[in-house]
Structure 1
Amino acid sequence: MNTNEEKPVQKDALDGGTYEIIRKRLNTHKSDLQERLNTLNEARKTVFGSLETQLIANNRISTENNCVARDIISLGNTCIFGYNVHFGLRTEISLSDVLSIYEFKDHHFGSVALNLFEDATFKTDFSNLYKYYRNTIFSKFARIGNYLHMVFQLSESVTDIKTFKWLIKDNKLTYIDNRSEHEFKYPQQHQFKWQEATRDMQRYGEHSHVAILDKVFVETIGGDLTIKIEDNTEDGMGIFSEPVAYKDQTLDDGQIRFADLGNLIALEIKPFQEEPRYFVYNHKMQEVQKIDSIKETAVLLPDDQGIIFPNGYYLQTGEFHLFSNEVQALKYQETISSPNGEDFLYVFYSPTKGTYLLMDYNMIEQEIKTPIVCGGFTILPNGELCYFKADDEQTKHHMIQIWQTPYLEGDIMPSEHQDSMLYKIGNKDIVKAMAEANELITLLSKEDNYDGLYADIAKSSKNILDAYYWLNEKETAVLNEPLKEINIAANAAIDEFQKVIQLKKNAEKQTQEIQQKAQKLFSKIKSTSFKNINEFVELLSQLRALRGEVIGLYEIRYVNEGFIKSLETEIAQQTTTISRRCVEFLLKDKALQPYHDKVEEKQQQLDKITKVVEAKKLEEDVNQIAIDLEMLIDIVSNLDIEDTSHSTKIIDNISLIFA
C-alpha cells in the first residue's frame, strides 16, 4: 500500500509532457487503490465470512421407474423430484409415476414417503388430469411467494398448462386448488422501456438516417442496415453494416425501437418485411455489438452496472462477453440474491426444452463465470446448489451435482466480529463501495478513445467520496486517500487532454496531407513512360523532397510512427527502383542531351543579358541544372553497380556538362 505523498513535479517537466505525467500519476493511484481494495476485501471476508462457489459432491437420486427427470425443488432439506415416465398402454397413473420425495442429508438423497401430498382433493384432481388429458406431462415447479405451483403441460403447446397450487408453511404443503394457472407467469422480459423512433428523429440528405438520442444514427435504406456514429447525411459509411432484403425501402419503412441505458443504447431495428435485429451500442467506446438473444429477454444488472441476456452480458464500462449457448428461446425467470449483497444468480428457462440456464454474477468483480445449463435445480438453506443435467434418456439413477454457493437462506450471514467497524458499516454497503471502486479502476485502465474518460473518472471518484462516510477509517484501508488523488489528477487531465486532442488532430491532419501527396506521386510514377532524363530527374527530386517531409513528421507529437515508417520504406523502394532504371537510361548515348541543350541555351542567354533581374533568373536556372546533375551523380555513386566502368562512364558524361 502506498501512503507516501507524491513530490510536486517541476513546471518545466510538466510543460514537457503534462498530460503524460498526469496519466502516470493516475496509474500510480490506481495501483494504490487496487492494493487497498484487496486489503479491505480480505478484512471483509474475515468479518462476514466467505463462501466460494465450488463443487463439493456428486450423488444420485434413484427413482422407482425409468423416467426423464424434469425438475427439483426443496422445502428445507426435503427435496421434491418431478419427472415423466413413458406409460405405454397404461391407463392408471399414480402419483409416484410423476413425483418422489427425498430427505437431503450429508450430501445424500434418502427416499421418503409421499406424505407431503396426502390430500384427497389433490389426488382426485391429479387422477382426473391424466384421465382427461392423455398427453399430459409434468413440466416444472414454480415457487411464487409462499405458494408452490406444480405445472403440467397438456398438449404440444407450452402455453396449454394446468397447475396445482399449494400453500407453503413451515416446509409443509396445504393444497389450494387446480384453477390457478393464471398466476403462473414469467416476469417482464425486458427490464427497460422500449421507445419508438419518431419521424422528427429523421435527418434527410444523400444518406438519410434516424438520429437516436443524438448519439447513434441508423438506417435500413440503400440495400443495407447501417449504424453510424456521425450525424452526417453526406456520407453513408458507418461502424456497422449488413444487407437487408429490400433495397428500395424508404426511411419510413424501417421500424426502430431503442432504450436509453446510460452509456449503452439497446436497438431493435426491423427492416421492411423482415424480423427485427438487435444491437447494443456503447457511445463511450463508439462500438456496436449485434446480440440476437436480446429479442427474448434482457435484464438490468444491480446498480445499473449493465445488462444481462441469455448468452452473455454487457457492462456500462464497455466490458462485453458472449457465451457459447445452444439453448434457444429462453425466458428470464428470476434473480436470486446472496445475503452478502455481492452475488446474484440470474435464472433463465426454456419452456420448450425444460432447460434452465444459471448465470452467477459477482457485483465486485463484475463478471460472470461459466454459466450452468441444467434440467432442474434447487438451492438448500445452507446455500448448497443441487442440479442435474438436461437429458432426454430415461433412467432410474439421476446424477446430481452439489455445489457450495453464497446463496444462503436469510438476510444476514453470521459473524463473530460484531464489535468491529466493518460489521457496523455492514457487508452490503462495503460491497457496493468496492463495486463502485472497481468500476473506477476499470475506467482508469481505459484508453483515451473512451469518450469523456477523465470527466467520468472525476465524477466517479467524487461520487464514491461523497457516498461513503467511512472511507477515511483505518479499518477500511483509508480508501479516501487514493480516491482524492485520483479526483485531483482526473480534473487536471480534463484540460490537458483537450490540448492533446488538438495536437492529435493536427498530427493526423499533417499525416493525411503527406499521405495524399505520396499517393498522388506514386500514381504519377505508375503512369510515367520514362522516355527522357527530365522525367527521371523530376520524379527523383519529388521523392527526395517527399522523404524529407515524411521524416519531418517525426518531430510532431502524437503522430503514428508505424505509419510514417511504412511510408518512408515505400518511398525508399520507389526511389531505388527509379534510380536503377535511371542508371540504365543514362548508359544510352543521347541520355544527357537535354542537359547539353539547356547549358547551350543558357550560354546564349548570357550574351543577351541587359538587366540585373535577367541575370538573377539565369543564375537560378543554372543552379537548378547543377542540382539536378549533382543528384544524378549521387544516385550513380550510391547504387551498387556491378560493372564499375558503367558508373565511371556516366559520371564522366555528367562532368562534361559541368565543364
Structure 2
Amino acid sequence: LDRHRHRRALRVRTRSRRYSLFDDGKMIVFRAAGEPTRVHVVQIWQTPFTSAEYAATAPTDGSFLAKVGNAELVRGISDAYTLVTFARNDAPTRASFEELIAATTRFEDAYFWVSNPEAGNLREAVAALRGTTELIIDEFEKVAAIRARASEALARAADEQRDLVAKILSSDLSHLDAFMHALTDLRKQRGKLISLREMREMDLVTVDALENEVAGQFDGVSGKCVTFLLEGDAFGPLNARIEQLLGQIDAVAKVVELEPLGADLNGVQEGLTLLSEVVAGLVVDDATARTKILEGISEVFGQVNRVRASYQAKRRDLSSTEARSEFGAQFALFGQSVAGSLALCDTPERCDEQLSRMLVQLEDLEGRFGEFDEFLTDLTIKREEVTDAFGARRQTLVDERQRKAQSLLTAAERILTGVTRRASKMADADELNAYFASDPMVHKLGDLATQLDALGDSVKAEE
C-alpha cells in the first residue's frame, strides 16, 4: 500500500518528465525537452519501491524477523496498536475490559514470534497488560458496588430533604415547638449530608447543592424564629408543655412508662440548646430584644432542669421498687437451682462442673443488680453459701470414693493371697493355666481392678 502511494506521489513530481520503474526498484528518469533533440538527459535512481515478486525472491539478512515476513509483522503491529486503543478507552466498562483480555489472548495465540528478543519481547508486555486488566475487573466490581451504595445513599438523602423542606414550608410556624422541631430536623439533615462526604465515589457536587439548600432553609427558619420570639409570650406554650410533662412523670407507676417522657424531655432540651445557639449567632441590632430572648430561654431551661431532676428521682424510686421485686424472684430461683445442682453431684468432677455453672449465674445476678447496694450483701453471702455447700458435697464424695477404693483393694488382696496359695500347689503348667482360665476368683480380681480404675485410682488398679 505504501509503495503504491509513493508511486502516485512520484508520478506527480515527475509529470514533466518520463520515467521507468523496474522490479528491483531502479528508476530511469528522462528529462523532457521543449524542442526535439538528439541527446536526452537520463537519471538513474535506486528506490526502495520494489515489486512484490522481487521482494519475495530477494535474499534476506537471515534474521528472525526476516524469516517471519513483512506481512506477518505488519499484521502483528496492527493488532498491537488495537490493544493500545482498547487500553486507552476513556469510558471503560466491564465489557470493554473483558474484550481487552480476550484480545490479548488472541494476540498471543496468533503471533508466536512476539516472545522473541528481536521483537522486543512483546509477549511480556501483552501478558502484563492482561494481568493488570484482570486485576482491574476484580476491583471494578468493588468500585461499582461502592458507587451504587453512594448513589443510593445520596438519593435517599435527597428524598428525605425534599420531604423535610416540603413539610417545613407547609407547616404552621406559629409556636415555639414548631420552630425547635424545624431547626433540629434541618440541623440533623445537614449532619447527614456532611457524613455523605466521607463515602467513596460520592457525587460531591450534588451534596454541595443539597447542603446549600439546607443552610438556606435553616437561615430562613432562624430569622422567622427570632421574629416570633420578640412577639408576645412566645415561651408560654412551651412552659405549659413542660409543666404537663412534670404531672405525667409524677403519675407514672412503671419504669417502662417513663421512657417516652424522658425522650420527650430530651427533645425539648435539645431544641432549646439549638435555639440558644441560633440566637447567639444572629446579629440583632436591639440589645434589649436579644436579652429578652435569652432570658426567656434561660427560664425555660430552668424548668427543664427541674423536671429532669423529678424524672431522675422518679426513675430511681421505681427502679429500686421493681428491682427489689425482681431480685427476690431471681434470688429464690437461684436457690432452687443450687439445690437441684447439688442433687446432680454424684462425683467430685460433677461437683466442680455444677459449682462453675452456679457461680456464672451468680455473677449474672451481680451484674444486673450490682448498682443497688442493698443487694450486694445478700449476693456475697449467697456466694459463700454456694461455695461451702458444693465444697462439702465434693469432700463427702471424695471420702466415699476413697473408702470404696480401700474396700476394693482389701478384697483384692485377700483374693490374690488365696490365688497365690492355690497356684503354688499346682503340679504342672497345664493345670496352672486351666486354673487361671476357669477359676471365678481370678476373674473377680479383674473386675475389682476395673472398678478401681473407674474410681480414678489407677495406681491401686495396676497393683
Instruction: Tell me the TM-score normalised to structure 1 length.
Output: 0.37
Q: SS at the partner of 2:232? A: coil
Q: Which residue of 2 aligns with 1:466?
A: 109
Q: Which residue of 2 aligns with 1:432?
A: 75
- Residue 436 of structure 1 contacts residue 464 of structure 1 at CA under 8 Å; is this kept in 2? yes
Q: Which residue of 2 aligns with 1:477?
A: 120
Per-residue deviation, residues 508-552 of structure 1 (Å, max 9, x unmatched): 222211121122223333434533333322222222222222222
Determine whether 1:536 maps to 2:179.
Answer: yes
1:548 aligned residue (191, 201, 226): 191
Cα distance in structure 2, aligned partners of 1:580 and 1:55: 80
How many Å apart are 1:111 and its aligned residue?
A: 12
1:571 aligned residue (192, 197, 214): 214
Cα distance in structure 2, aligned partners of 1:646 and 1:622: 27
Cα distance in structure 1, aligned partners of 2:277 and 2:104: 62
Q: Which residue of 2 aligns with 1:595?
A: 238
Per-residue deviation, residues 480-508 of structure 1 (Å, max 9, x unmatched): 11111122222233333223322222222
1:650 aligned residue (285, 290, 293): 293
Q: SS at the partner of 1:452? A: helix
Q: Which residue of 2 aligns with 1:215?
A: none
Cα distance in structure 2, aligned partners of 1:489 and 1:623: 55
- Residue 19 of structure 2 contacts residue 30 of structure 2 at CA under 8 Å; is this kept in 1? no
- Residue 49 of structure 1 contacts residue 413 of structure 1 at CA under 8 Å; is this kept in 2? no
Equivalent position amino acid for 1:470 in 2: W
- Residue 458 of structure 1 contacts residue 487 of structure 1 at CA under 8 Å; is this kept in 2? yes
Of the structure 1 ranges 637-646 and 436-445, higher mean CA displacement relative to structure 2 is found in: 637-646
Question: Structure 1 459/572 Cα, relative in aligned 2: closer, same or farther at 3 Å?
Answer: same
How many Å apart are 1:442 and its aligned residue?
A: 2.0
Question: Structure 1 558/110 Cα, relative in aligned 2: closer, same or farther at 3 Å?
Answer: farther
Equivalent position amino acid for 1:571 in 2: V
Q: Which residue of 1 aligns with 2:260?
A: 617
Cα distance in structure 2, aligned partners of 1:602 and 1:627: 16
* TM alignment of 1:192-271, pairs within 5 A: none
Cα distance in structure 2, aligned partners of 1:502 and 1:57: 62
Cα distance in structure 2, aligned partners of 1:107 and 1:606: 119
How many Å apart are 1:553 and its aligned residue?
A: 2.0
Cα distance in structure 2, aligned partners of 1:580 and 1:470: 78
Cα distance in structure 2, aligned partners of 1:109 and 1:457: 60
Larger Rg: 2
Equivalent position amino acid for 2:252 in 1: I
Q: Which residue of 2 aligns with 1:516?
A: 159
1:441 aligned residue (79, 84, 99): 84
Cα distance in structure 2, aligned partners of 1:53 and 1:572: 73
Q: Which residue of 1 aligns with 2:202?
A: 559
Q: Which residue of 1 aligns with 2:280?
A: 637
Equivalent position amino acid for 2:207 in 1: I
Question: Structure 1 562/445 Cα, relative in aligned 2: closer, same or farther at 3 Å?
Answer: farther
Question: Structure 1 412/446 Cα, relative in aligned 2: closer, same or farther at 3 Å?
Answer: farther
How many Å apart are 1:631 and its aligned residue?
A: 0.9
- Residue 57 of structure 1 contacts residue 107 of structure 1 at CA under 8 Å; is this kept in 2? no
Question: Structure 1 vs Structure 2: percent identity of aligned residues?
Answer: 26
Cα distance in structure 2, aligned partners of 1:425 and 1:601: 97
1:583 aligned residue (211, 220, 226): 226
How many Å apart are 1:604 and its aligned residue?
A: 2.9
- Residue 508 of structure 1 contacts residue 559 of structure 1 at CA under 8 Å; is this kept in 2? yes
Instruction: Tell me the TM-score normalised to structure 2 length.
Output: 0.52
* TM alignment of 1:413-432, pairs within 5 A: 418-432=61-75
Q: Which residue of 2 aligns with 1:319?
A: none
Q: Which residue of 2 aligns with 1:411?
A: 52
- Residue 146 of structure 2 contacts residue 201 of structure 2 at CA under 8 Å; is this kept in 1? yes
Equivalent position amino acid for 1:515 in 2: A
Cα distance in structure 1, aligned partners of 2:229 and 2:180: 11
Tell me which protein shows more helix as a share of its residues.
2
The count of corresponding residues between Structure 1 and Structure 2 is: 283
Equivalent position amino acid for 1:474 in 2: P
- Residue 457 of structure 1 contacts residue 487 of structure 1 at CA under 8 Å; is this kept in 2? yes
1:628 aligned residue (271, 276, 284): 271
Of the structure 1 ranges 464-473 and 417-426, higher mean CA displacement relative to structure 2 is found in: 417-426
Q: Which residue of 2 aligns with 1:266?
A: none
- Residue 61 of structure 1 contacts residue 109 of structure 1 at CA under 8 Å; is this kept in 2? no
Per-residue deviation, residues 225-279 of structure 1 (Å, max 9, x unmatched): xxxxxxxxxxxxxxxxxxxxxxxxxxxxxxxxxxxxxxxxxxxxxxxxxxxxxxx
Question: Structure 1 568/649 Cα, relative in aligned 2: closer, same or farther at 3 Å?
Answer: same
* TM alignment of 1:491-530, pairs within 5 A: 491-530=134-173
Gaps of 5+ in 1: 1-47, 63-73, 78-103, 113-381, 384-405
- Residue 151 of structure 2 contacts residue 202 of structure 2 at CA under 8 Å; is this kept in 1? yes
How many Å apart are 1:625 and its aligned residue?
A: 1.0
Cα distance in structure 2, aligned partners of 1:501 and 1:430: 39
* TM alignment of 1:12-27, pairs within 5 A: none
Equivalent position amino acid for 2:240 in 1: D
- Residue 196 of structure 2 contacts residue 202 of structure 2 at CA under 8 Å; is this kept in 1? yes
Cα distance in structure 1, aligned partners of 2:6 and 2:172: 75
Equivalent position amino acid for 1:592 in 2: F
Cα distance in structure 2, aligned partners of 1:631 and 1:439: 63
How many Å apart are 1:456 and its aligned residue?
A: 1.5
Gaps of 5+ in 2: 22-27, 37-45, 303-463
Question: Structure 1 632/489 Cα, relative in aligned 2: closer, same or farther at 3 Å?
Answer: same
Equivalent position amino acid for 2:117 in 1: K
